[in-house]
């Protein structure tokens, strides 16, 4: 996850500049020259003051104390004060015909603004935002039954248990204990959304969800239609995978694992949120083919530590022709969870000065999952540096899905052939391609509906169609509809299960991850073609191919300076996000899954439960 940099702090000097501009009614019609001057001054101030904002955010995330929480809250409040002033000042230029580059800068600036006219509400929303993220960071799963009774586990240890345990009662108890961290957030989150909506409405948007959906170079309704089109493209593949996994899970755990309607218990899928399922690969492989290697075991056997894992990620980008990460990256990043303090362990990539102060914040564990995540996060860092020559308003991805997709595109190239090239495998193992594809699908395909439903829920909350009294019911309706999973224990409105997922209390939009899981296959296919690869797509690695690296670098350097379809065309030759590359990648697996399901007389799909008492929701 990339840490957005314009969302924490700007300080008093920008307030003074804007305060000196005088009232809007007293000023004559603005000119293009005045608009250019306004944007130039704003960009200089944003660049200088946002660095201070990012440093405050970094300290708060890495040293969670009452003091740092107060400092971050004050920084948030000051930032919102500035955005409110900017929101008023920028209206002076509405309706003015501007050159295309300047017009795009104004558009991007407006989409990053926030407006609350009441100073007390600005203070309140700042405190709420900081408090919600801190509550998640401090959250622990306090288990009251089984071998873990009496232990309070941070999220990293929760993930370990959910990944490795095969005791359904233990999984249920740990899942329930972790999801309890959300309940205290419920009232704060309700108020936070009210204030977020009010701020968006003061800028002319229907609600904050509509504002979020306006960031994709198309009208919000058109963007929603695009999401539905993409979901319908990939849904048959997901449903085939779900049906196959459902059968294997039921063989392992019995009737308790699956509801009569065909939904899988969420705690049995190897992850606290059932968002990725690769940890249960040994259960669902059916005793058949194997990928031929265990990357976690290899890393441990070769004594690859946390720092060396990051070096492998850097080396991949270097092999494509990118410059090494700066020395300050290695000196200032967080790689290992400290023993002496609370930190937000959720992995994120940072650029604190809009130039070269790149950092990774991650509590790395020696496992294949984190090896992949490192490549994902470094994708953000190399993207951040590629566009650091641009004006600050263009220093973002073409859209936020692009930013999330870059590192994952590289991670797709972590094939047995790549692992052999870098010495982690002594030889390319004889392996079953179906096994390789199944393991990858348990991450990439299983994630798709989860990546979509988070913001589907949040947009309903923001537009008021889902009332606070129904937050948890609405959450599980969508999880059942899209994922075909259900809670292992009865849930009620005393619970607030969305709060147990970092991106909700941290207010990070999530549709970017759904888009990224489709875009990465488009990018990957384009880079494989550029590298001249001719074999099965899932076996391609473009490691050490400078031609592919130049193709990638050219797109990254565009940042947000052009609409995303132009950036997509520069990389792929296409102007529309499309799932066909993903479907082609997994085509051999889809054929195999359909055959397995037919042989077991299993029909893909499920029915949702919407009775008053079903599951306690």
Q: Which residues are catalytic?
A: 377, 503
CA distance 82 to 395: 20
Q: What is the DSSP string of 215-257?
A: TSSS-HHHHHHHHHHHHHHHHHHHHHHHHHHHHHHHHHH-GGG
Q: Exposed, middle or buried by CB within 10 Å (0-12, 13-18, 19+), for 401?
A: buried
At residue 605, φ and ψ (nearest 5 deg) are: 105, 175
Q: How many CA atoms lie less than 13 Å away from 602 in the CB half-sphere?
A: 23
CA distance 254 to 55: 51
**Residue 152, H or E segment:** strand 152-153
Proportion of the chain in helix, strand, coil states, percent, rounded to 5: 60, 5, 35
CA distance 268 to 400: 31
CB 573 within 8 A of CB 211: no
User: Which neighbouring-strand residues pair with 358?
Assistant: 351
CA distance 371 to 310: 8
> Tokens for 559?
């940042």
CA distance 199 to 545: 47
> Which residues 6+ apart lie within 8 Å of 67 measured at CB?
none
> Which residues 6+ apart lie within 8 Å of 554 measured at CB?
570, 571
CA–CA distances in Å: residue 266 to residues 35, 166, 182, 438, 492: 53, 13, 17, 19, 16
Helices vs. strands in the chain: H and E counts, helices first? 24, 6
The DSSP letter of residue 258 is B
CA distance 530 to 532: 5
Pairing of strands 141-142, 152-153: antiparallel
Helix axis angle, 564-572 relative to 511-530, nearest 10°?
30
CA distance 120 to 45: 25
């Amino acid at each position: 996850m990339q840490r957005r940099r314009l969302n924490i702090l700007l300080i008093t000097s920008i307030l003074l500049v804007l305060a000196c501009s005088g009232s809007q009614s007293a000023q004559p019609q603005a000119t293009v020259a005045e608009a250019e001057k306004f944007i130039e001054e704003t960009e200089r101030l944003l660049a200088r003051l946002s660095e201070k904002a990012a440093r405050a955010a970094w300290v708060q995330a890495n040293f969670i104390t009452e003091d740092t929480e107060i400092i971050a809250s004050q920084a948030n409040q000051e930032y919102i004060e500035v955005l409110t002033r900017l929101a008023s000042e920028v209206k002076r230029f509405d309706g003015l015909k501007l050159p295309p580059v300047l017009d795009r800068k104004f558009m991007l600036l407006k989409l990053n603004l926030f407006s609350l006219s009441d100073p007390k509400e600005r203070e309140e929303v700042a405190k709420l935002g900081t408090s919600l993220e801190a509550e998640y960071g401090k959250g622990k799963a306090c288990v009251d039954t089984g071998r873990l009774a009496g232990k309070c586990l941070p999220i990293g240890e929760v993930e370990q248990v959910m990944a490795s345990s095969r005791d359904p009662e233990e999984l249920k108890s740990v899942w329930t204990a972790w999801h309890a961290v959300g309940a205290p957030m419920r009232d704060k989150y309700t108020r936070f959304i009210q204030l977020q909506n009010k701020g968006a409405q003061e800028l002319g948007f229907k609600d904050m969800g509509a504002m979020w959906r306006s960031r994709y170079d198309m009208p919000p309704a058109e963007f929603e239609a695009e999401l539905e089109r993409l979901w319908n493209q990939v849904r048959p593949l997901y449903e085939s995978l779900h049906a196959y996994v459902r059968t294997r899970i039921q063989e392992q755990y019995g009737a308790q694992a699956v509801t009569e309607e065909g939904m899988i218990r969420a705690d049995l899928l190897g992850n606290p949120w059932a968002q990725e399922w690769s940890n249960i690969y040994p259960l669902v492989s059916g005793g058949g083919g194997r990928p031929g290697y265990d990357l976690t075991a290899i890393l441990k056997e070769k004594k690859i530590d946390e720092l060396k894992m990051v070096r492998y990620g850097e080396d991949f980008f270097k092999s494509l022709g990118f410059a090494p990460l700066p020395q300050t990256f290695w000196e200032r990043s967080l790689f290992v969870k400290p023993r002496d303090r609370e930190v937000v362990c959720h992995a994120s990539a940072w650029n604190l000065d809009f130039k070269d102060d790149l950092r990774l914040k991650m509590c790395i564990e020696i496992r294949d999952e984190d090896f992949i995540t490192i490549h994902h996060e470094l994708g953000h860092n190399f993207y951040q540096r590629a566009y650091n020559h641009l004006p600050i308003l263009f220093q973002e991805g073409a859209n936020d899905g692009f930013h999330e997709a870059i590192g994952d595109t590289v991670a797709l190239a972590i094939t047995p052939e790549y692992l052999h090239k870098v010495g982690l495998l002594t030889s390319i193992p004889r392996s079953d391609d179906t096994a390789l594809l199944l393991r990858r699908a348990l991450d990439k395909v299983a994630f798709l509906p989860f990546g979509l439903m988070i913001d589907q829920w949040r947009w309903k909350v923001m537009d008021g169609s889902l009332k606070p009294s129904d937050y948890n019911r609405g959450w599980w309706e969508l999880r059942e509809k899209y994922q075909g999973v259900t809670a292992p224990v009865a849930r009620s409105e005393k619970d607030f299960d969305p709060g147990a997922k970092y991106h909700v209390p941290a207010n990070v939009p999530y549709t970017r991850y759904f888009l990224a899981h489709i875009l990465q296959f488009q990018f990957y296919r384009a880079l494989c073609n550029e590298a001249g690869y001719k074999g099965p797509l899932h076996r391609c690695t473009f490691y050490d191919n400078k031609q592919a690296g130049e193709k990638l670098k050219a797109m990254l350097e565009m940042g947000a300076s052009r609409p995303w379809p132009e950036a997509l065309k520069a990389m792929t030759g296409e102007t529309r996000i499309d799932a066909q590359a993903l479907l082609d990648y997994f085509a051999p697996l889809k054929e195999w899954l359909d055959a397995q399901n037919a042989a077991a007389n299993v029909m893909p799909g499920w029915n949702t439960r919407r009775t008053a008492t079903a599951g306690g929701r």
